[in-house]
Amino acid sequence: MEATDAIKKKAETEKETDTEVILQYRNYEVNMDDVTKRVKAHYIAKGYQADSIENMQIYVKPEDFTAYYVINDGVVGKVNLF
C-alpha cells in the first residue's frame, strides 16, 4: 500500500468533528458560520442563484467590522460582521 493510499484510508475512517469557529474582537463576537450564511444571503439578494456558487472566499477584517467576499472569482461584496 502506498503512503497516499494509507492517508486516504485513514481520512475515510476518521470521524467528522463538529467545529464551531467564533471570532472575538474587542467586546464583540460572531460565529463564522453565521457570517458565511450572511454572505450567501447577500449574494442571493444581488439576484444570483444559490446553486451557482462554485467557490467562495471570505476575508474577515474585524478592525473594519466587515467581511469581504469573492464568489466565483468575480462577484464581490461585503457584509457586516457584528
What is the reported pLDDT for 16? 81
Cβ burial of 39 (10 Å; 0-12, 13-18, 19+) is buried
What is the reported pLDDT for 2? 67
The reported pTM is: 0.77
What is the reported pLDDT for 1? 52
CB atoms within 10 A of CB 12: 7
> Which H/E stretch holds residue 60?
strand 56-61
Positions in the chain short of pLDDT 70: 1-3, 6, 8, 10-13
